[in-house]
Amino acid sequence: MNTASRRVVVTGLGALTPLGLSADSFWQAIKSNTSAVAPITTFDATQFRAKHAAEIRGFTPSEWLPTHRLKRMDRFIQFAVISSMQAMRDSGLPSAPKPLRDRIGIFCGSALCGFSQAEAKHKVFLEKGAAAIPPSLAMQIFGGSAHSQIAIELGITGFSTTNTNGCAASAVAIGEAWRAIREGLCDAAIAVGAEAPLQPLTFGAFDAINTMAHETYRCFDKRRSGFVMGEGAAALVCESLDHATARGAHIYAEILGYALNNDAYHMSSPRPDLSTISACMDIALASAGVSAKSVDYIHTHGSGTVLNDATETAAIKTVFGQRAYAIPISSTKPAHGHSLGAAGAMETILCCKAIQEQWLPPTLNWGEPDTACDLDCIPNHGRNAPAKVVLKNSFGFGGINSCLVIGKL
């Protein structure tokens, strides 16, 4: 069999988000126009200009894992492991016995990994000295800890890796899972993004460069002023179509294509000529064998910064021409916050749900048009509409661009 021709489908979903602690509750909250953005309670934000966040509430990890194991896991690792457990349970795919567990991969994405845990423990170190450093800290903060803990908990021994491609990290994880299954490295894979950035130094670093909204989180609106930081995780189980069909799995959607490139321009500003962002969308469509005329909906990166939203809008016009005005686009970040490296996976789950139900999620808090963002952003209320082919954009600091094409099987 030519494995490069393998089709890849999504058979399991898991999510821990500020809007719900499962993929279904997350989706229902999106459908009901709920927003999780609120004044931050994790720490005292008085010293910062930004004072809002999208926090996860009611999360009880001990319902999933024993306390002695949880003590070895940073919050982002807990998110990654438990959302992966949810996705595996939803897929009905067993992780053992051999040889199946050798043919399952793990692809994780996180912008900051365990940095917030290091921040929290550094404060203890300064107050109490080296004797207060917990032995587990080294295992909590390194980048590969999440996919390693997932492997341990689920008994998965196949190809596994973590990338730290900023806010595009979990979209890259999904894309690399797609590539690995296509190329025969594995028959199935967990693609997961996880982030737990709500600590004062981490929060303050983004506040210092003035990228976060001081009040309402808006996208594609003239009054937009930046993003609101969120936390959480999302996981998707991907399989080759043959593998999924053989075991009678429920299929949410098909991953049709993927692209990844870099602006090679600036750490925080997109390339002004739009060439690389546009190329990323073009390459993703080409890899999917899909023409621009076939795209029904675009889930944008839509971070809410003045420059990013205008640049993404212009790039979409470059790729789709006049038809861009007929394609609904939206950003769901005003509802669930911007969870950095976990955002792409969270939003890909929403794309799968949109395809499943043929309902497009809205861009909340929109009210004042901007001539630089003049596409149909599905303002304030979702709508029933065709969603057979969906483009998902994810962009990150450092000029990292990643695009996924997702379709109805």
Catalytic residue list: 167, 301, 338
Q: Up-side HSE of residue 408: CA atoms within 13 Å toward CB?
A: 15
Burial grade of 99 (CB within 10 A; 0-12, 13-18, 19 or more): exposed
Q: For 264, left (φ over 0), alpha (ψ -120 to 50), or beta?
A: left
For residue 286, what are its two tokens?
Answer: 């080409």
Write the DSSP symbol of residue 212: B
Residue with tokens 């016995």: 97
Alpha-carbon distance of 143 to 282, in angstroms, equals 31
Alpha-carbon distance of 299 to 55, in angstroms, equals 22
Write the DSSP symbol of residue 342: G
Residue with tokens 């009678």: 248
For residue 157, what are its two tokens?
Answer: 């021994």
Strand partners, 9: 239, 254
For 19, residues 6+ apart whose C-beta sits below 8 A from its C-beta are 25, 26, 29, 30, 34, 36, 335, 336
Alpha-carbon distance of 79 to 297, in angstroms, equals 29
Residue with tokens 């567990």: 101
For residue 106, what are its two tokens?
Answer: 């793990």
Alpha-carbon distance of 188 to 156, in angstroms, equals 11
Burial grade of 379 (CB within 10 A; 0-12, 13-18, 19 or more): middle
In 10 A of CB 32, how many CB atoms?
10
